[in-house]
Structure 1
């Protein structure tokens, strides 16, 4: 019995050892399978890294004048950036913000900290900060029952709503500084470089961050750039502006810019030529690859795509002429304003466009505004494109051509210039109580006869039997017919100038005979200075209307600042239309313009009759009530020489006192300067 029990025990023990052996064998086989068949796969998983890329903006292209003088450059500046590791938490960013607040100052120099933070931080920003500091306390305020029916986002928002005014009222300036920095850190996407501070970074801040990057993981110091203007404010209002890194891409165009590969905090042109030619100036971003391990730590970086600054713009503007035009306007305005301060208290601006009529190249575009309080002038050149004024008699060339081409008058036909009156309306004349006698269309331009233009307007409306103080018959379609002729010159329509959102002028809305008469002498619809420049250029070109343009050529960027890059693209002359008017009729208007400048009784004879450059053109004076006072808009259009014209100009001086002639004086000095520079 004893032996039998012992034998059974040994048998069971052997079976147990056998089972253990089999289990170990299976385990060893399994380990072998893992090692031999799946070892590489598991090892790769353990050692797996991720390669991400970030795009680093490069400087914009430069802007030059036609003689290759830099007028918008890039000036290096210090920047502090943040590139978070993958999976960085809000708590980790808060720690970085706390440490970074010891190294930099986020309040701009000269600003009151309290006022700055009141402007920059929202109530939600403060609540989110309090939440991170008191996470458990904040979470417990929301009942389990309420949390049960909410997702994580809803729970978070509901918790923030339970944070009280009292909770966030005790934050110090230091707390708010940390919140402000964290707010910037939060804007960074994973492995997406974000600029924390780029304006006003001091040498001390730059050095502190560089020396303490271990305590602010993801933060780096880099060189950024800002626009610099060697010519100061000269045409700066035309060059436009670029957004700051904090502004980034405009919110209303977010989808558009993101679709083109922009990041949220990229700088873009937001006005003027910077906006117009953003796609050329932006450059190619540098792409940097970041290799991270499974924990999200960056273990390697390398440049994947070399960056290249934007292409350079060569403008048609001549900066020497531009500065001269600015100076002339300032000097002549100041003379009049100082000499007759009361009579010219509304005359604070003058606008001028100087253009090559054959090519449309803009040589100088000037606008100067006088600030009476500061006794200084401000550059407002953009107003030549955006601001519209009643032009007065400068448009009479278009009126004469409309009359000749429509057939309501014929070459050489005369009218007796004496006051006119339609029953129920005020009397109209060329000058107050004046009579100029018999005039054909050429001398009507020379002496600026309103009466001749009135007769063209009435005939276009169907009235051929005008009698003093009698009613007239009138077809309202004449308004559109007259405007259609004006449109051919660029008056009342877009000129096509390469500048964002140009104005086209105001069109009157009361189509009665008296208003068409006013339209015919430039006293009804309004136009921009750029439109007037295109109009006179079209006459100078024998009826060919071309687009005015700032851009002359595009150049590839050059690594050397000493030389200009190779030509990428030339801007050719672009014709818009040829006016549907006979050349013989255009020649009649050109002759009228010659007599305005070069024959006695011409309205600009005093300034131009003895000029060797043989200028022609037309003056304009438009009655214009402003702030309850009588003022006059003074205009001038001109080109020279008469044969084979090489330069044209348009000048507008709004709200001048009665009897001034500063428009012609400015025009004379500009043309003198242009031909002296040749």
Structure 2
């Protein structure tokens, strides 16, 4: 009886369930009908009025490490003040926002151009600006022509009357104008905590302004090598087309010089993507969504930053002694010196250093770019190339003797070496730096027989061409190929029909060369005639997963041979022997300072007279060590100095530093990539 009662309840419950489901489905159908029939057109119009817009923001750039895996360029977390403008934003709206923001942050007006000021004047004084154009003129002009004429009639006096507050607002507005609609544009990178606090407090009244976490380049080694690392800036107006053609956007931070520019595609990270939903007017609807980007790849460089700092110290100390010491008056025009050190077998640049002295502030500053862009007459350091040219052209051989005595020509002129040397061969000519020996080579290349005082079949211009073509095999007068955006190639003085000019060419007092070219030249001699491409990039690595580590190796820069000298090894042996005698022979011009060095250097000194009246010279030195198995080559250039040995003393200091650091590293456990720690 009890079980029967339970069975009777089942159909009742099922009926209730079916009724509930029917009721819910009815409500759903009614709602769907309402949406589709009653509200369908309205929702359809709303959907058509919205749009998905995706913008991008830079991610942190890759780091740079030195050859020993020490962090040389890092990213420091900072705050940036940004501005995101809507599509309907007007110039007047941005000016108002800029004026408000100027109350809370400081913005330098250094990059404001004359055109910026004139545009600003028109914005502030539209009626005054329009009054500069007559009605008859306006009728004949297009809108663009009208605006350009208006700009041309705004005077310098009118744009010089802006107050400091106006200029600060202009600097801020200028940044606001640069960005795309709905793309955050950096107004100030590295805002102070006080500025961040003030802006945060007033964000509701600063439409489009925001505060974002950002990264700014930092340099653990201070100013050392910083110029060669390069700069990261917003794209300059003058180079906008160049960068946008490479896929950059107008508001990007990009490398604008040296290594940052050269390896922009590697250092640039994957951008953070910001997605907006906008209405028909282009205004955002709701909050944007962000997808984080990733940091750029890391570079490992060939430069040893510890050696770099030591070289900079040597240069500064030696310059300071020459500028402020007992020879201060004689060296009153001396202000700079440059050094390049590289591995002659691989082309790896180990150090690229320069110092310039400001006589007004009495301070030194780093100027490594002088090695790449400044060119000088290098004097006798090029005599190795002259001897090799003479050997290759067959005008001398390894046993050819010339009498180093004053040369007399038909007009009574005398040309001579710094001392009388008597009969000498090519090795001694290099050891003692004979000018006369080189002049005999130049005369023979010109077809001039000194003993007969007459020309034969050839001419002077041909000698120029032979010498210049030969020098270019060493990298003199042409691009070295270094991995930087640009480099100077020195200055070709041209040709001359005067025999004396060809003779001056043969001793390095005609064309000019850069210190980097001189380093490549001596490296080619040290490396048995193989000219290696100098490079600063050693490796490319993925960003590391954990701090204090290096990421996966993506690329290793292999040594590249640019050319092999068209000369026999026996000819190179002659010059290498002569270079060794310069630093170790009894009459070597640099033996007094290098003779007893256990690292066995070889090289060539140079003095180029640049002003006979004032007695100014360029003092130079090139070399390599050890003589039998070169691992480091170098060039030293000290422009505009009087008789002094600063070039040799700098050469001694940098070689001592290199081999002292080598001894220290041997005594320590070698640092491997997987053990690298950020410093």
TM-score (structure 2 length as normaliser): 0.83
Aligned residues of 1:130 and 1:167 also touching (Cα < 8 A) = no
Aligned residues of 1:128 and 1:160 also touching (Cα < 8 A) = no
Q: Which residue of 2 aligns with 1:665?
A: 649
CA separation of 1:34 and 1:71: change in aligned 2, threshold 3 A = same
Equivalent in 232, 238, 262 of residue 242 of structure 1: 232
Q: Which residue of 2 aligns with 1:621?
A: 607
Query: Which SS does the other structure have where 1:185 is aligned?
Result: helix
CA separation of 1:371 and 1:411: change in aligned 2, threshold 3 A = same
Q: Do structure 1's residue 598 and structure 2's residue 584 form an aligned pair?
A: yes
Q: Which residue of 1 aligns with 2:46?
A: 46
Which aligned pairs between 1:601-612 and structure 2 lie closer than 5 A?
601-612=587-598
Aligned residues of 2:59 and 2:293 also touching (Cα < 8 A) = yes
CA separation of 1:158 and 1:621: change in aligned 2, threshold 3 A = closer
CA separation of 1:655 and 1:163: change in aligned 2, threshold 3 A = closer
CA separation of 1:438 and 1:94: change in aligned 2, threshold 3 A = closer
Q: Which residue of 1 aligns with 2:202?
A: 212
| Structure 2, gaps ≥5 residues long | 1-31, 663-679
CA separation of 1:202 and 1:637: change in aligned 2, threshold 3 A = closer
Q: Which residue of 2 aligns with 1:367?
A: 354
**CA displacement at 1:40 relative to structure 2:** 4.7
Between 92-101 and 360-369, the greater mean CA deviation after superposition = 92-101
CA separation of 1:223 and 1:426: change in aligned 2, threshold 3 A = farther
CA separation of 1:218 and 1:578: change in aligned 2, threshold 3 A = same
CA separation of 1:167 and 1:297: change in aligned 2, threshold 3 A = farther
Cα deviation digits, residues 371-390 of structure 1 (max 9, x gap): 22322211111111111111
Q: Do structure 1's residue 60 and structure 2's residue 45 form an aligned pair?
A: no
Q: Which residue of 2 aligns with 1:257?
A: 243
Query: Which SS does the other structure have where 2:475 is aligned?
Result: coil
CA separation of 1:34 and 1:577: change in aligned 2, threshold 3 A = same
| Structure 1, gaps ≥5 residues long | 1-31
**CA displacement at 1:370 relative to structure 2:** 2.1
Task: Work out the CA distance in 1 between the residues paired with 2:436 and 2:476.
Answer: 22
Query: Which SS does the other structure have where 2:508 is aligned?
Result: coil
Alignment length (residue pairs): 625
Q: Which residue of 2 aligns with 1:127?
A: 122
CA separation of 1:586 and 1:212: change in aligned 2, threshold 3 A = same
Q: Which residue of 2 aligns with 1:191?
A: 182
Equivalent in 554, 572, 575 of residue 589 of structure 1: 575
Q: Which residue of 2 aligns with 1:27?
A: none
Q: Which residue of 2 aligns with 1:556?
A: 542
CA separation of 1:425 and 1:223: change in aligned 2, threshold 3 A = farther
**CA displacement at 1:163 relative to structure 2:** 12
State the Cα RMSD in Å: 3.6
Between 119-128 and 581-590, the greater mean CA deviation after superposition = 119-128
**CA displacement at 1:89 relative to structure 2:** 4.4
Task: Work out the CA distance in 2 between the residues paired with 1:238 and 1:551.
Answer: 12
Task: Work out the CA distance in 1 between the residues paired with 2:330 and 2:511.
Answer: 26
Task: Work out the CA distance in 2 between the residues paired with 1:611 and 1:165.
Answer: 64
Task: Work out the CA distance in 2 between the residues paired with 1:533 and 1:39.
Answer: 79
The higher radius of gyration belongs to 1
Equivalent in 380, 384, 391 of residue 393 of structure 1: 380
Task: Work out the CA distance in 1 between the residues paired with 2:165 and 2:115.
Answer: 14
Q: Do structure 1's residue 675 and structure 2's residue 659 form an aligned pair?
A: yes
Aligned residues of 2:57 and 2:183 also touching (Cα < 8 A) = no
Equivalent in 288, 297, 301 of residue 301 of structure 1: 288
**CA displacement at 1:168 relative to structure 2:** 11
**CA displacement at 1:156 relative to structure 2:** 9.0
Q: Which residue of 1 aligns with 2:85?
A: 84
Task: Work out the CA distance in 2 between the residues paired with 1:657 and 1:164.
Answer: 50
Task: Work out the CA distance in 1 between the residues paired with 2:409 and 2:118.
Answer: 68
Query: Which SS does the other structure have where 2:356 is aligned?
Result: strand
CA separation of 1:33 and 1:284: change in aligned 2, threshold 3 A = closer
CA separation of 1:93 and 1:66: change in aligned 2, threshold 3 A = same
Task: Work out the CA distance in 2 between the residues paired with 1:143 and 1:447.
Answer: 79
Q: Which residue of 2 aligns with 1:24?
A: none
**CA displacement at 1:285 relative to structure 2:** 1.6
Q: Which residue of 2 aligns with 1:636?
A: 621
Q: Do structure 1's residue 353 and structure 2's residue 340 form an aligned pair?
A: yes
**CA displacement at 1:449 relative to structure 2:** 1.2
CA separation of 1:143 and 1:435: change in aligned 2, threshold 3 A = closer
Q: Which residue of 2 aligns with 1:483?
A: 468
Task: Work out the CA distance in 1 between the residues paired with 2:134 and 2:173.
Answer: 29
Q: Which residue of 2 aligns with 1:202?
A: 192
Aligned residues of 1:450 and 1:521 also touching (Cα < 8 A) = yes
**CA displacement at 1:195 relative to structure 2:** 1.9
**CA displacement at 1:158 relative to structure 2:** 10
**CA displacement at 1:77 relative to structure 2:** 2.4
Aligned residues of 2:338 and 2:354 also touching (Cα < 8 A) = yes
Q: Do structure 1's residue 413 and structure 2's residue 400 form an aligned pair?
A: yes
Aligned residues of 2:180 and 2:250 also touching (Cα < 8 A) = no
Equivalent in 195, 213, 221 of residue 231 of structure 1: 221
**CA displacement at 1:669 relative to structure 2:** 2.0
**CA displacement at 1:498 relative to structure 2:** 1.4
Query: Which SS does the other structure have where 1:584 is aligned?
Result: helix
Which aligned pairs between 1:502-581 and structure 2 lie closer than 5 A?
502-509=487-494, 510-558=496-544, 560-581=546-567
Which aligned pairs between 1:413-452 and structure 2 lie closer than 5 A?
413-424=400-411, 426-431=413-418, 434-452=419-437
Task: Work out the CA distance in 2 between the residues paired with 1:568 and 1:126.
Answer: 52
Cα deviation digits, residues 304-340 of structure 1 (max 9, x gap): 5x32222222111111111111111111222222121
**CA displacement at 1:183 relative to structure 2:** 4.8
Cα deviation digits, residues 272-302 of structure 1 (max 9, x gap): 2222222222222211111123452331322
Query: Which SS does the other structure have where 1:299 is aligned?
Result: coil
Task: Work out the CA distance in 2 between the residues paired with 1:655 and 1:151.
Answer: 57
Aligned residues of 2:298 and 2:543 also touching (Cα < 8 A) = yes
Task: Work out the CA distance in 1 between the residues paired with 2:618 and 2:134.
Answer: 73
Cα deviation digits, residues 45-100 of structure 1 (max 9, x gap): 22442110111012222222111222222222222111123433455545544544
CA separation of 1:425 and 1:347: change in aligned 2, threshold 3 A = farther
Query: Which SS does the other structure have where 2:605 is aligned?
Result: strand
Task: Work out the CA distance in 1 between the residues paired with 2:157 and 2:467.
Answer: 70
**CA displacement at 1:242 relative to structure 2:** 2.4
CA separation of 1:471 and 1:152: change in aligned 2, threshold 3 A = closer
TM-score (structure 1 length as normaliser): 0.84
Task: Work out the CA distance in 2 between the residues paired with 1:514 and 1:440.
Answer: 22
